[in-house]
Chain A
């Protein structure tokens, strides 16, 4: 709108003055909107379809709800998927403008992050020609307290040179979440927050995050693979915070408390059963499956082998299949 109004003015002013004026107005517009951020395709078409903008929009928050089979929520692949998305974001930032710093900040609360699993992805995906010889930078921060963690995530999201912030905060108050959202809106950094069980209780509740994706592993069952491909089932749960949902916050908090009480009461099979139901509810008809290639962090292009996987040539593969027939083991265990 402003552009149209100002057009006659630009024509009148000399070329340099007009250029500056145009630059100033465009800059003001971008500042005012804060929505001028580009959308980056994650490289996983299944995931892109779930996200509201058809990809990850810079300056947004994405929550990943780790939905493992175990109550611990570990080993389910949500962090792995978030890492792959972070790599993609950093590399596209490095390619967009070679001088721009594309940094991934990992806020590692429990000192658990293991970089050798992620660094090869960055190396494999970085196209040296496109990024003019620059590798995205990976920085790890290890806070030891909860408030330090919240502060570190906030600082990292505020920094314009950061492409993605990866964190797994356990308990997050919605105030902190809102602060993170505003910080990322201003700087263009993408916050990728992996939440465990505590977050899963809130599935369906309103959130400040722009998207909330539940991630669950797919049990491959009988099929034998060499563990290079991870099959994950993803679904969009909950959604962006809307005005009407504000008043639901209190209700959802109450519901969460009830749920956690219930969970403490339940034991063994009962609890598993309930969690299974929750999972099924979340990953209902809307869920889709994606295949993550663990060697390079991209969508797997290999054909899915149902049986007879040829072992890797290394020593590691020598014992693999013949010594441990899965079906047989199950029989013996029972």
Chain B
């Protein structure tokens, strides 16, 4: 049986704002959503530290007030005007004046929850966020952690659940947590830890009962022992099954308030009497129907930007100042990726121009595109690449702001370091960094890895491939073209492949090939009359490169290379390897019309 811990963060939208702006703790905070016709609806609200008032049922501590849903009768889904009226009724009109009203921002709430979920991976590897409840106000507020088999590392489930709550409390987050067999049961338990703790201590741990003074305390955690969640949670309200309001109202109409009450009904008739959601939730609660945990995988790529109060004048700014800002932004971008075990593959740095300074130019920002061959999560390395590019580009005269945007990411390779010196494995990543630096300065197309291609025309007998990261998995990443060439190599010895092999024999190919063939002006050919029929003749007796005359003493050829008509301009060349009287070797060819060209040197 699995064990799931649900961590409930009550009123998460408000809590997130309180974390970001602690000064709001003294004021009531309303998070509102603008509905149709301009009506503001309260999504969540809280007053972390309301003033103590005599006679009023003010909560003893601010933290606890967060979880009290019916403090002043304000419910999520109320209009803001109603909520303000209720607040004025309970705390006086001054409370309304100091109230902070903020727009709902589900995306930011979700992002903050995801980062919290990532930090909760210290407790267990699988940390999920509950599916946002449909037809409800507000987004998800719960984390679901699969703690099956991990509680022993924290000294038992009770210790684990306490550790989680305290760890979050140390960060200023109010949380309630519970462990049970199924996600649904854990959810129900986490939302009713107060009542549950009383029953659990009464039934399970007898010795604690005599602490009568503790009854008033608000318990923030509960552990439902394995296989007992049906009995232990029998007294929990039926709404804890995450039912829609309609289904909950139906149940209330027939007088069923608790989960135990539902279980007392015959299961077979449930589906026909109530909405299908009820039986579905019940099955999830008992574990008959598995409920998958959805681990968040953020597809959002990090960005960071810095806008200057006044435009930076280029003449007053050194490059180091710019680099310092860019480095900080890069660190901001890289840190969340590194936490996910990812690294930057490509990123963009934009230097925003000031519109007033350069009115004539289109105010497009100066853009630096950086790409690496190996995912990198080292801000230092990326800054180096940016520096290389910065030094060689024309910067705008006035810079209004700098933005760094990660364009693509890849899985970074992590290696354990050795205590002394660099490990041999580290040199592979060093080569990757070298490629990045070289292509950063020389241009991305100027650094490549040559791969042989089966093609008769010498210029096309190889292809420039961007150098791949030499990881341990480099072999599995071979492209089909490479596989094909490997096969070619493998069958080189078979008689069928001898023809292709001899065409690409390395001894017939020069180590230097001119980018385009150079025409040889003065060539003396002997015996050209011998074979005029097919237009071919022997190699030249001598030829000139510049002013230097080369006497040919030995030749090999012709090797005729002819391309098909669909390849564009037809190439028909008779190649000769010639050795001159000094021993130098050249690769020359004769075209169909009898012109001679120098194409390569066996340098």
CA distance A138 to B579 in the complex (A): 29
Q: Which of A72-131 contact B (CB under 8 A)?
A: 72, 74-80, 83, 97, 99-101, 103, 105, 110-121, 123
Report if A333-B524 is in contact (Cβ < 8 Å); known contacts: A115-B462, A324-B539.
yes
Task: Give, as a whole number of angstroms, the nearest-CB distance from B523 to chain A.
Answer: 12
CA distance A265 to B250 in the complex (A): 110
Q: B437 touching A294 by the CB < 8 A rule?
A: no
Residues of A within 8 A of B548 (CB): 70-72
Dominant SS among interface residues on chain B? mixed
Closest-by-CB residue of A relative to B420 is A27
Q: A116 touching B553 by the CB < 8 A rule?
A: no
Q: A216 touching B583 by the CB < 8 A rule?
A: yes
Asked if A257 is at the interface (CB within 8 A of a chain B CB), the reply is no
Closest-by-CB residue of B relative to A25 is B420
Report if A101-B431 is in contact (Cβ < 8 Å); known contacts: A143-B442, A319-B558.
yes
Query: Which of A112, A160, A312, A329 has the largest count of B CB atoms less than 10 A from its CB?
Result: A329
CA distance A23 to B549 in the complex (A): 62
Closest-by-CB residue of B relative to A272 is B548
Q: B502 touching A97 by the CB < 8 A rule?
A: no
Asked if B158 is at the interface (CB within 8 A of a chain A CB), the reply is no
Residues of B within 8 A of A77 (CB): 583-585, 602-603
Residues of A within 8 A of B506 (CB): 116-118, 120-121, 294-297
Closest-by-CB residue of B relative to A159 is B434
A113 interface neighbour in B422, B511, B584, Cβ under 8 Å = B511
CA distance A151 to B470 in the complex (A): 23
CA distance A116 to B504 in the complex (A): 8
Residues of B within 8 A of A121 (CB): 506
Q: B558 touching A316 by the CB < 8 A rule?
A: yes
Task: Digitize A49-77: 1 where CB-to-B-CB distance is under 8 Å, 0 elsewhere.
Answer: 00000000000000000101111101111
Report if A69-B581 is in contact (Cβ < 8 Å); known contacts: A115-B462, A116-B509.
yes
Q: A74 touching B601 by the CB < 8 A rule?
A: yes
CA distance A139 to B433 in the complex (A): 13
Query: Which of B430, B504, B603 has the largest count of A CB atoms less than 10 A from its CB?
Result: B603
Task: Give, as a whole number of angstroms, the nearest-CB distance from B392 to chain A.
Answer: 10
Q: A148 touching B420 by the CB < 8 A rule?
A: no
Residues of A within 8 A of B514 (CB): 112
Asked if B321 is at the interface (CB within 8 A of a chain A CB), the reply is no
Task: Digitize B194-235: 1 where CB-to-A-CB distance is under 8 Å, 0 elsewhere.
Answer: 000000000000000000000000000000000000000000
Closest-by-CB residue of A relative to B514 is A112
Asked if B421 is at the interface (CB within 8 A of a chain A CB), the reply is yes
Residues of A within 8 A of B421 (CB): 27, 30-31
Closest-by-CB residue of A relative to B455 is A116
Asked if A141 is at the interface (CB within 8 A of a chain B CB), the reply is yes
Residues of A within 8 A of B489 (CB): 123
Residues of A within 8 A of B428 (CB): 99-101, 161
Please choose the segment from A6-14, A206-214, A220-228, A248-256 that sits at the chain B interface, where 4 or more of its residues have CB less than 8 A away: A220-228
Task: Give, as a whole number of angstroms, the nearest-CB distance from A177 to chain B.
Answer: 20
Q: A74 touching B430 by the CB < 8 A rule?
A: no
B582 interface neighbour in A159, A217, A226, Cβ under 8 Å = A217
Asked if A320 is at the interface (CB within 8 A of a chain B CB), the reply is yes
Asked if A137 is at the interface (CB within 8 A of a chain B CB), the reply is yes
Asked if B435 is at the interface (CB within 8 A of a chain A CB), the reply is yes
Report if A316-B559 is in contact (Cβ < 8 Å); known contacts: A123-B489, A230-B602.
yes
Q: A142 touching B515 by the CB < 8 A rule?
A: no
A160 interface neighbour in B422, B513, B554, B601, Cβ under 8 Å = B422
Asked if A235 is at the interface (CB within 8 A of a chain B CB), the reply is no
Q: A80 touching B467 by the CB < 8 A rule?
A: no
Task: Digitize B569-603: 1 where CB-to-A-CB distance is under 8 Å, 0 elsewhere.
Answer: 00000000101111111100000000000001111
CA distance A117 to B505 in the complex (A): 8
Query: Which of B526, B551, B584 has the largest count of A CB atoms less than 10 A from its CB?
Result: B584
B441 interface neighbour in A151, A218, A227, Cβ under 8 Å = A151
Q: A219 touching B434 by the CB < 8 A rule?
A: no
Q: A72 touching B582 by the CB < 8 A rule?
A: no
Closest-by-CB residue of A relative to B556 is A227
Q: B556 touching A294 by the CB < 8 A rule?
A: no
Closest-by-CB residue of B relative to A151 is B441
Task: Give, as a whole number of angstroms, the nearest-CB distance from A198 to chain B.
Answer: 15
Asked if B499 is at the interface (CB within 8 A of a chain A CB), the reply is yes
Residues of B within 8 A of A173 (CB): none
Residues of B within 8 A of A260 (CB): none
Task: Give, as a whole number of angstroms, the nearest-CB distance from A253 to chain B.
Answer: 27
Residues of B within 8 A of A162 (CB): 431, 434
CA distance A194 to B601 in the complex (A): 14
Report if A119-B450 is in contact (Cβ < 8 Å); known contacts: A71-B548, A80-B511, A227-B577.
yes
CA distance A102 to B545 in the complex (A): 38
Query: Which of B458, B507, B524 has the largest count of A CB atoms less than 10 A from its CB?
Result: B507
Asked if B512 is at the interface (CB within 8 A of a chain A CB), the reply is yes
Asked if A140 is at the interface (CB within 8 A of a chain B CB), the reply is yes
Residues of B within 8 A of A160 (CB): 422, 426-427, 430
Q: A295 touching B505 by the CB < 8 A rule?
A: yes
Residues of B within 8 A of A230 (CB): 585, 602
Closest-by-CB residue of B relative to A30 is B421
Q: A141 touching B446 by the CB < 8 A rule?
A: yes
CA distance A315 to B489 in the complex (A): 21
Q: B541 touching A141 by the CB < 8 A rule?
A: no
Report if A148-B553 is in contact (Cβ < 8 Å); known contacts: A100-B427, A314-B499.
no
A-B contact pairs, 11 of them (CB 8 A): A66-B603, A75-B602, A113-B511, A119-B450, A137-B470, A142-B442, A161-B427, A194-B603, A216-B583, A228-B507, A329-B541
A residues neighboring B (CB under 8 Å): 20, 23-24, 27, 30-31, 66, 68-72, 74-80, 83, 97, 99-101, 103, 105, 110-121, 123, 133, 137-144, 148, 151-152, 155-156, 158-162, 194, 216-221, 224, 226-228, 230-231, 294-297, 312-317, 319-320, 323-324, 326, 329-330, 332-333
* Given A161-B434, A162-B434; 20 other pairs, CB 8 A cutoff: A23-B420, A27-B420, A68-B582, A70-B545, A70-B548, A72-B545, A74-B586, A75-B603, A105-B434, A110-B515, A112-B601, A120-B452, A123-B489, A140-B450, A141-B442, A161-B431, A230-B602, A297-B506, A319-B538, A326-B554
